[in-house]
Structure 1
Amino acid sequence: MARRISFLNYKGGVGKTSLIVNTAAALVKLGQRVLLCDFDTQSNASIWLMKLDRWNKINAQGVGAVYSIFDPGTARVKDLVLKDVVQGKAGELLLPGLDLVPTTFNLVDLENEYNGDPSRPPFLVFYDQLREIEANYDFILFDCPPNILRASQCGVFASNELYVPANPDALSLIGFTLLVEKLQKFHQLSASFRQAAMGPAAQVYGIVFNAIKTGVDIEVPKMRMQLRLNQFRSAKRVAARAKIFDAQIRDAMVVRRAVALGLPVSLVSADAEGNASGDNVVNDYRKFATELIQHAPTP
């Protein structure tokens, strides 16, 4: 069974999308089959991996993205998967094994304009269809916006694990605290829809410090985050094995360059002069992906 994982923090701007895209790529490099599902209405992960020209087509048509399974409801998740999504200029496959369920701006309509069957909320509709393809993957990753509204609920309900990207600042700590509170409320709301075969509801299994700028001392923010994590562990509001990851992701200009090129950073590891400017951050993502594989929940 695939490990189903949401990346989420109630604080925005923590570099969540760069973390999930590059972690997905690193997992593939380590031999894993990965599906990334984009539930962030900003569509950043989809635009990044598809590149703007390909993404513009489905955004203009209003079909081919995840909202299609809700309205008009004629598509299924399996129909939306873009196999081996990372391509070169001539359409050559650059990272076989990384698939994408894309989103477009119309996903915002799920929050206010969608009126579905109350007995089948969007998160249940999505999960029931995801089961059709789950066996094809080792990891299914959900890029969620900084809330637990309907779009995020689709990823969170389908997940068993949740990882929190954080910056070394007070706002990330506040975002983590709010996330745990909101997560508990959603689990209470959705409990009647869960089935035993799904496994346990998503718990926070880890925090990863991301986009750390050069010269920033993270020890005090890390200590404060650890204290809060310990409190939540004692209260059984996060997984018993929840931890702050040893791997830390540094800020690097090459990450922004990778976004512009529509490639994971591991495929943009040298600058125009041939210097391996991205090697450090590439290693950071590889270390995090390796640690993530090792941090699998105990059956």
Structure 2
Amino acid sequence: MPRKICFINYKGGVGKTSLIVNTAASLVQKGKRVLLVDLDTQSNASIWLMRLDRWNKLNVTGKGSIYSLFFQSDDKLKDIIVKDVVEDKAGASILPGLDIAPTTFNLVDLESEYDEAESKPHYLTFYEQIKEIENDYDYILFDCPPNILKASQLGVFSANEIYVPANPDALSLIGFTLLVEKLLLFHKRSASFRQSGMGAAAAAKGIIFNSIKANVDIEVPKMRMQLRLNQFRNQKRVHPAAKIFESQIRDATVVRRAVTLGLPVGLVGQVAQEEDSVATDYRRLATEIDRHTDMI
């Protein structure tokens, strides 16, 4: 069974998409098979990895994306997955093992236009489709928007772990606090739909400091986050193994360049070869995540 992980914080602008895209790529470079499920209506991960030319075709029709699972009756998750999504300009795969279930701007309609049956909510339907393909992967990573509305619920209900990207600021601490509260409310409402064998509902298991600018001292924000994490752990509101990751991701202009190129940072020219770069940060984080199992 794969590890199924949501990346989410109630605060936006924490660099969540860059974190999940580059962590996914780093896990693949470690020999893992990874599916990135884009549940953010901004579609940033899908646009990044598919590039605009391929993604635009999905956005025009809505077919072949997460949106179509709920508004096109014949589409299933297994049918919309883009295999080996990272390609060079000639269309050849250059990172085999990284697949994506893409999304489009239309996914926002899930909030207001999808009429679900009370006996089978949208997140249970989605979970059943995840079960059909999960054994093809070592990791399934869900890129969620900064809320626990319908799109995020798809990932939160299906996941068994939640990681919280954060910046070293007070707003990230507030976002983490709100996230824990909203997760508890959602888990309480959805408890009756959890089936035997699903395991416990996903709780926050890790906080990752991301996009850290040069010469910024993060010790005080980190201490405050640790105090809040300790409080929640004592109250059993987060995972018992929840921690702040030792691996931290620095801010770097190459991340913006990687988006333009449609590549993970670890495949961008000279940066990929440097001994100490943001690409190294992502590789270290992938290693730490890979080791952060319930047995630790």
Per the alignment, residue 207 of structure 2 pairs with: 207
Task: Tell me the distance in 2 between the aligned counterparts of 1:51 and 1:202.
Answer: 32
Per the alignment, residue 29 of structure 2 pairs with: 29
Per the alignment, residue 227 of structure 2 pairs with: 227
Shift of 1:145: 0.0
Task: Tell me the distance in 2 between the aligned counterparts of 1:41 and 1:278.
Answer: 35
Per the alignment, residue 92 of structure 1 pairs with: 92
* SS of equivalent to 1:270: helix
Task: Tell me the distance in 1 between the aligned counterparts of 2:295 and 2:6.
Answer: 18
Given the superposition, is the C-alpha separation of residues 295 and 73 from structure 1 closer, same or farther in structure 2, using an over 3 Å criterion?
Answer: same
Task: Tell me the distance in 2 between the aligned counterparts of 1:138 and 1:199.
Answer: 18
* SS of equivalent to 2:239: coil
Q: Does the 8 Å contact 1:270/1:278 carry over to 2?
A: no
Per the alignment, residue 243 of structure 2 pairs with: 243
* SS of equivalent to 2:78: helix
Query: Which one-letter code corresponds to 1:289 in the other structure?
Result: A
Shift of 1:277: 6.9
Task: Tell me the distance in 2 between the aligned counterparts of 1:279 and 1:89.
Answer: 28
Given the superposition, is the C-alpha separation of residues 50 and 279 from structure 1 closer, same or farther in structure 2, using an over 3 Å criterion?
Answer: farther
Q: Does the 8 Å contact 1:157/1:201 carry over to 2?
A: yes
* SS of equivalent to 1:60: helix
Task: Tell me the distance in 2 between the aligned counterparts of 1:161 and 1:269.
Answer: 33
Aligned pairs (5 A) from 1:136-155? 136-155=136-155
* SS of equivalent to 1:52: helix
* SS of equivalent to 1:92: coil
Equivalent position to 2:288, from 287, 291, 296: 291
Query: Which one-letter code corresponds to 1:286 in the other structure?
Result: R
Task: Tell me the distance in 2 between the aligned counterparts of 1:229 and 1:239.
Answer: 10
Per the alignment, residue 107 of structure 1 pairs with: 107
Q: Does the 8 Å contact 1:265/1:278 carry over to 2?
A: no
Task: Tell me the distance in 1 between the aligned counterparts of 2:82 and 2:200.
Answer: 28
Sequence identity, in percent? 67
| 2:120 paired with 1:123 | no
Aligned pairs (5 A) from 1:269-284? 269-270=269-270, 279-284=276-281
Structure 1 window deviating more from structure 2 (219-228 vs 197-206): it is: 197-206
Q: Deviations over 1:76-109 (max 9, x none)?
A: 0000110000011111111000000000011000
Query: Which one-letter code corresponds to 1:152 in the other structure?
Result: S
Per the alignment, residue 195 of structure 2 pairs with: 195
Task: Tell me the distance in 1 between the aligned counterparts of 2:18 and 2:276.
Answer: 16
Shift of 1:278: 9.1
Task: Tell me the distance in 2 between the aligned counterparts of 1:69 and 1:62.
Answer: 10
Query: Which one-letter code corresponds to 2:197 in the other structure?
Result: A
How big is the alpha-carbon RMSD for the aligned residues of Structure 1 and Structure 2?
1.4
So what's the TM-score if we normalise by structure 1?
Answer: 0.97
Unaligned runs of 5+ in 2: none
Shift of 1:144: 0.1
Unaligned runs of 5+ in 1: none
Task: Tell me the distance in 2 between the aligned counterparts of 1:22 and 1:277.
Answer: 16
* SS of equivalent to 2:277: helix
Task: Tell me the distance in 2 between the aligned counterparts of 1:149 and 1:80.
Answer: 22
Given the superposition, is the C-alpha separation of residues 26 and 238 from structure 1 closer, same or farther in structure 2, using an over 3 Å criterion?
Answer: same
* SS of equivalent to 2:151: helix
